[in-house]
A = this chain, B = another copy of it.
């Protein structure tokens, strides 16, 4: 258990929480090393860097996942993560909507529908 792993695990728990833990566990019997890279590289290296705080990082992540398309599962985890680090539901919706001119309506709608389901699950109402 090296330092990057420990730092990454701590960060993964703080950002993604149960959703992140679920991904790592789901990889155990097929590709445990992939889970290790998520922890060590994505969280131990990248998410542990300075210059941007966790709220700023989540804005970047939401945009990357919305734009990429076909990443609904990861979006769900990172919409929860965005709430975990302190973005408000309105800021999350706003960040996704900001992508329309760059990414087009279809992928933005797909992401908004994931946010909608996630907010319903957590019994959150967006302040309109």
Contacts from A to B (Cβ < 8 Å): 23, 26-27, 29-34, 37-38, 41-42, 45-46, 49-52, 56-57, 59-71, 73-74, 90-91, 93-110, 112-113, 115-116, 119, 125-126, 128
Question: What residues of B have a CB within 8 angstroms of the CB of A59 in the complex?
Answer: 52, 56, 59-60, 63
Judging by beta carbons under 8 Å apart, are A108 and B34 in contact? yes
State the copy count for this chain: 6
Q: Assuming A31-B112, A71-B110, A105-B38, is B26 touching A99 (CB within 8 A)?
A: no
* Contact present for A95 and B60 (CB under 8 Å): yes
Partner of A107, one of B31, B52, B66, B68: B68
Q: A60 contacts B57, CB within 8 Å?
A: no
Please report whether the interface of chain A is mostly helix, strand, loop or mixed according to DSSP. Answer: helix
Contact among B74, B108, B128 with A109 in the assembled complex (CB-CB below 8 Å): B74
- 6 A-B pairs whose Cβ atoms sit less than 8 Å apart in the complex: A34-B105, A37-B46, A57-B98, A59-B63, A63-B64, A102-B104
Q: Contacts A97-B31, A105-B102 hold; do A67 and B64 have CB atoms under 8 A apart?
A: yes
Q: Which B residue's beta carbon lies closest to that of A63?
A: B63
B71, A106: Cβ atoms closer than 8 Å? yes
